[in-house]
Amino acid sequence: MSFLVIGTGAIGKRHANNLSHLGEDVVSISMQSDGIDGLKRRLKSEKFEAAILCTATQIRTEITEILAAHKLPIYIEKPVAYRRTDMDLIMKQLGPLADRSFAGFMMRYHPAVRFLATAELDTYRFSFDIGHDVHQWRENWNFADSYAASPDGGGVLLDLCHELDMAHTIMGALTLDTASCLSHPDHTGVDFSTRIALHNNNTHGTVCMDYLSPISTRKLVLWGQSQKITFDLANNNYQIETDDGVKNLDLTIDRQVMFQNTMADFIRLVRGDVLENPIAPILSNEMPTCHLICAAYEQRKFTGNIRSKT
């Protein structure tokens, strides 16, 4: 049977290509051109093994209800939802299917995240930072025309929420303190720079993301009592500093391989096989991270505006 990819944007095309690369038959549909009626017709006329959902987040609950009625496991691109009510509704719709579904937190397949998730850490403070110039993001792509430019469900907090998942995965369950955002004069109500403060009983820190950095940035720093860990994922520089000096690790991975490894594990999950990654983002296990993302979005506060260049 085939895999149904719902969404034909850049991410949908990537998932479809990766499934084909892994030897699977793929059918792709566009919600913009096919719509809900087209989805229903396709599901009625063909049998599918699972679905990959990579539409705009705002329209997903109607789609997940239909897919659940057809008993299809789903790979749901991040964020699964940005409202707690929608998140809870999706989980109710899926029921036991959530045990065979994935949240699209593919950074779980980065060797650096896997290393830290199983390491003995004594971290008391952390920072996770990601940023890039949104206008240089993808070729032939216009931010103003994208889902990310919508005041409802767009913005950098949701777009780059992998960092929230990484912090939650590495540091353990985290509680939201604050989510402060800067808006943009040309995109009112859309967060272009966001700083999220978090804590648990042993550590505290920040997750920061922006659409403005002239140099692409993806870096995490963990300050511990016995070591300082600095992983620069953008430049593949992974260092652990202790009293004995600096140790450099080789944790490099090609981004495309990371996507393929994530999809390969989803296929294993759908078919009841043993997963390769012990921290695979099985949806039924990911409620703490998904709820944290929803809480950050729902409690965010705009504290100012980006200074215009003009």
Domain contains 310: no
Residue 270, CA distances (Å) to 51, 224, 236, 266 in order: 10, 39, 32, 6
Domain contains 114: yes
Asked if 49 and 177 sit in the same domain, the reply is no
Note down the domain range covering 265. 2-106+260-282
Asked if 204 and 182 sit in the same domain, the reply is yes
Number of domain units in the chain: 2
Asked if 154 and 270 sit in the same domain, the reply is no
Asked if 62 and 205 sit in the same domain, the reply is no
Per residue, the 3-state secondary structure of 14-27, as one string, reads HHHHHHHHCCCCEE
Domain contains 9: yes
Please write the tens of the pLDDT for every residue from 227-243. Answer: 999 999 999 999 999 99
The residues pairing with 194 across neighbouring beta strands, listed in sequence order, are 181, 209
User: What pLDDT shows up at residue 48?
Assistant: 98
- 71 — pLDDT class (breaks 50, 70, 90): very high
Asked if 75 and 189 sit in the same domain, the reply is no
Q: Mean pLDDT for the chain?
A: 95
DSSP 222-246: EEESS-EEEEETTTTEEEEEETTEE
Contact (Cβ atoms closer than 8 angstroms) between residue 220 and residue 127: yes
Q: In percent, how much of the chain has pLDDT > 70?
A: 98
Question: Which letter does DSSP use for residue 4 in this model?
Answer: E
